[in-house]
Structure 1
Amino acid sequence: MKVSTNWLKDYINLDGYTNEELFNQISFHMTEIEEAYPLTTNTNLTIGYVKECVNHPDSDHLHVCQIEIQPGVVSQIVCGAPNMKQGAKVIVALPGAVLPGDFKIKPSKIRGVESNGMCCSLQELGIKEMFVEEAYKDGIYLLPEDAPVGENPLHYLGLDDYVYDLELTSNRSDLLSIEGVAYDLAATLNKKVEPKKFSLEESSKENDVKVSVLTSKCPKYLTRKIENVEIKSSPEFIKARLIASGIRPINNVVDITNYVLMELGQPLHSFDADKLGTSIVVREAKEGEVIKTLDDVERKLSKGDIVITNGNEALCVAGVMGGASTEITSETKNVVLEAAYFEPLPIRKTSQRLGLKSESSTRFERTIDYQRVNRALDYAAYLLEKYANGTVLAGVNGIEAPYKERHTSVTTAKINKVLGTSLDNKEVEAIFDRLGYDYEGSGSYEINIPSRRMDLLPSYQDIIEDVARMYGYDNIPTVLASTNDKGALTPYQKLVRNCRIILSNMTINEAVTYSLTNENDLYDFVEREEEPIKLLMPMTEDRAYMRQSLIPSLLNTIIYNKSRKMNDLSFFEIGKVYTSSSEVMHLAGAFNGLFASSKWQGYKTPVDFFLVKGILEILFEKLNLSPVFEAYPDLKNMHPGRTAKIIVDGKMVGFVGEVHPRYAHEHSCDNTYVFELNLDEIYACNHQTFKYQTICKFPSVSRDLAIVVDKNVTCKEICDVIKMTSKKYLTNLEVFDLYEGENVKENEKSLAISLTFEDKEKTLETADVDKIINSILNRLDALLHAHLR
Structure 2
Amino acid sequence: MKFTLSWLKTHLDTDADLSAILKTLNDIGLEVEDVENPAEKLGAFRIAKVLTAERHPQADKLQVLTVDQGDGHPLQVVCGAPNARAGLVGVFGVEGAVVPVNGMVLKKTAIRGVESNGMMCSFRELELGEDHDGIIELAGDAPVGQVYAEWAGLDDPVIDVSITPNRQDCMGVRGIARDLAAAGLGTMKPLAIPVVEGSGPGPDVRTDDVEGCPAFFARTVRGVANGRSPEWMARRLKAVGQKPISTLVDITNYLMIDLGRPLHVYDLAALKGGLVARKGKTGEEVLALNGKTYAVDETMTVIADDAAVHDIGGIMGGEHSGATDATTDVLIECAWFTPERIAVTGQKLALTSDARGRFERGVDPAFLDDGLSIATDLVVKLCGGTPSEPTRAGTPPLTPRTISYDPAQCLALAGVDVAADEQQRILESLGFGVAGEAGAWTITVPTWRRDVDGWPDIVEEVVRIVGLDKVPSTPLPRAPGVARPTATAEQMVERRVRRTAAARGLAEAINWSFLSEKEAASVGGGDWTLANPISEELKVMRPSLLPGLLSATRRNMDRGAASVRLFELGRRYFTGQKDGSWERATVGFVLAGEKTPRGWQTGKAQPFGAHDAKAEVTALLAAAGAPVANLQSFGEASGAYHPGQSGTLRLGPKTVLAEYGVLHPSLARLFGLTGTVVAGEIFLDAIPAKRRTGFMRAPYAPPALQAVKRDFAFLVPQALEADALVRAVRGADKKAIVEARLFDMFVGPGVEEGHKSLAVEVTLQPGEKSFSQEELDAISSAVVKAAEKLGGTLRG
Which bracket does the TM-score occupy, shorter chain normalised?
0.5 to 0.7
Amino acid in the other structure paired with 2:465: M
* 6 and 690 in structure 1: CA distance in 2 versus 1, 3 angstrom threshold: closer
2:682 to 666, 677, 680: 677
Secondary structure, counterpart of 1:654 in structure 2 = strand
Displacement of 1:437 in angstroms is: 2.2
Displacement of 1:626 in angstroms is: 0.4
Deviation digits for residues 339-386 of structure 1 (CA, Å, limit 9, x no counterpart)? 012355786899999999876555445432122123322444566678
Secondary structure, counterpart of 1:718 in structure 2 = helix
Secondary structure, counterpart of 1:168 in structure 2 = strand
1:435 to 427, 430, 433: 430
Displacement of 1:544 in angstroms is: 5.9
Deviation digits for residues 558-585 of structure 1 (CA, Å, limit 9, x no counterpart)? 9999999999987655454445784544
Displacement of 1:763 in angstroms is: 4.0
1:502 to 476, 489, 500: 500
Aligned counterpart, 1:732? 739
**Contact 2:217–2:390 (CA<8 Å) still a contact in 1?**
no
Amino acid in the other structure paired with 1:766: Q
Aligned counterpart, 2:332? 337
Deviation digits for residues 574-621 of structure 1 (CA, Å, limit 9, x no counterpart)? 454445784544223456899679968999999776665454334433
1:383, 1:566 → 2: CA distance? 55
Deviation digits for residues 27-73 of structure 1 (CA, Å, limit 9, x no counterpart)? 4658567669999xxxxxxxxxxxxxxxxxxxxxxxxxxxxxxxxxx
Alignment of 1:535-684 (within 5 A): 545-551=540-546, 572-579=567-574, 582-589=582-589, 612-627=613-628, 628-629=631-632, 631=634, 635-636=638-639, 644-647=647-650, 652-656=655-659, 658=661, 674-682=679-687, 684=689
Displacement of 1:412 in angstroms is: 4.7
Superposition TM-score, scaled by structure 1 size: 0.62
* 426 and 512 in structure 1: CA distance in 2 versus 1, 3 angstrom threshold: closer
2:471, 2:668 → 1: CA distance? 62
* 582 and 287 in structure 1: CA distance in 2 versus 1, 3 angstrom threshold: farther
Secondary structure, counterpart of 2:520 in structure 1 = coil
Instruction: Please say which of residues 562-571 and 695-704 is displaced more in the overlay.
Output: 562-571
1:19, 1:637 → 2: CA distance? 56
* 519 and 760 in structure 1: CA distance in 2 versus 1, 3 angstrom threshold: same
1:222 to 192, 206, 217: 217
1:719, 1:600 → 2: CA distance? 41
**Contact 1:587–1:678 (CA<8 Å) still a contact in 2?**
yes
Superposition TM-score, scaled by structure 2 size: 0.62
**Contact 1:586–1:678 (CA<8 Å) still a contact in 2?**
yes
Amino acid in the other structure paired with 2:293: K
**Contact 2:219–2:333 (CA<8 Å) still a contact in 1?**
yes
1:174 to 169, 175, 178: 169
RMSD across aligned C-alpha pairs, in angstroms? 6.3
1:25, 1:566 → 2: CA distance? 34
Deviation digits for residues 136-194 of structure 1 (CA, Å, limit 9, x no counterpart)? x87589xxxxxxxxxxxxxxxxx999978553322344234455345435434496875
1:4, 1:597 → 2: CA distance? 50
Amino acid in the other structure paired with 1:718: A
Gaps of 5+ in 1: 40-79, 83-122, 132-136, 142-158
Please tell me whether residue 207 in structure 1 is matched to residue 202 in structure 2: yes
1:24, 1:609 → 2: CA distance? 51
Amino acid in the other structure paired with 1:451: T
1:450 to 425, 446, 451: 446
Secondary structure, counterpart of 2:459 in structure 1 = helix
Aligned counterpart, 1:422? 417
2:727, 2:345 → 1: CA distance? 63
Deviation digits for residues 629-650 of structure 1 (CA, Å, limit 9, x no counterpart)? 2535684455777765434599
Q: What is the aligned residue count?
A: 664
1:693 to 700, 708, 725: 700
Instruction: Please say which of residues 778-787 and 279-288 is displaced more in the overlay.
Output: 778-787
* 163 and 734 in structure 1: CA distance in 2 versus 1, 3 angstrom threshold: closer
1:739, 1:386 → 2: CA distance? 92
Displacement of 1:678 in angstroms is: 1.7
Deviation digits for residues 363-421 of structure 1 (CA, Å, limit 9, x no counterpart)? 44543212212332244456667888866545524234534666767765553255432
Please tell me whether residue 718 in structure 1 is matched to residue 718 in structure 2: no
1:672, 1:758 → 2: CA distance? 40
Instruction: Please say which of residues 406-415 and 179-188 is displaced more in the overlay.
Output: 406-415
Displacement of 1:209 in angstroms is: 0.5
2:588, 2:266 → 1: CA distance? 59
Displacement of 1:480 in angstroms is: 4.5
**Contact 1:664–1:670 (CA<8 Å) still a contact in 2?**
no
Please tell me whether residue 271 in structure 1 is matched to residue 266 in structure 2: yes
Gaps of 5+ in 2: 40-85, 89-122, 132-136, 142-151, 576-580
Secondary structure, counterpart of 1:693 in structure 2 = coil
1:449, 1:432 → 2: CA distance? 10
Identity %: 22
Answer with 1 or 2: which has the greater Rg. Answer: 1
Aligned counterpart, 2:364? 369
Deviation digits for residues 669-716 of structure 1 (CA, Å, limit 9, x no counterpart)? 898764321234448555888634333343333445679999899447
Secondary structure, counterpart of 2:706 in structure 1 = coil
Displacement of 1:224 in angstroms is: 2.7
**Contact 2:660–2:681 (CA<8 Å) still a contact in 1?**
no
Secondary structure, counterpart of 2:365 in structure 1 = coil
Displacement of 1:766 in angstroms is: 3.3
Secondary structure, counterpart of 1:301 in structure 2 = strand
Aligned counterpart, 1:301? 294
Aligned counterpart, 1:464? 459
**Contact 2:283–2:296 (CA<8 Å) still a contact in 1?**
yes
Amino acid in the other structure paired with 2:527: E
Amino acid in the other structure paired with 1:587: V
2:542, 2:237 → 1: CA distance? 43
Aligned counterpart, 1:76? none
Amino acid in the other structure paired with 2:287: I
* 766 and 605 in structure 1: CA distance in 2 versus 1, 3 angstrom threshold: farther
* 411 and 600 in structure 1: CA distance in 2 versus 1, 3 angstrom threshold: same
Secondary structure, counterpart of 1:428 in structure 2 = helix
Secondary structure, counterpart of 1:586 in structure 2 = strand
1:591, 1:393 → 2: CA distance? 69
1:389, 1:560 → 2: CA distance? 54
2:22, 2:595 → 1: CA distance? 58
Please tell me whether residue 531 in structure 1 is matched to residue 527 in structure 2: yes
Displacement of 1:779 in angstroms is: 11
* 129 and 24 in structure 1: CA distance in 2 versus 1, 3 angstrom threshold: closer
Amino acid in the other structure paired with 2:763: T
**Contact 1:207–1:225 (CA<8 Å) still a contact in 2?**
yes
Aligned counterpart, 1:115? none
Secondary structure, counterpart of 1:336 in structure 2 = strand
2:495, 2:407 → 1: CA distance? 41
* 769 and 307 in structure 1: CA distance in 2 versus 1, 3 angstrom threshold: same
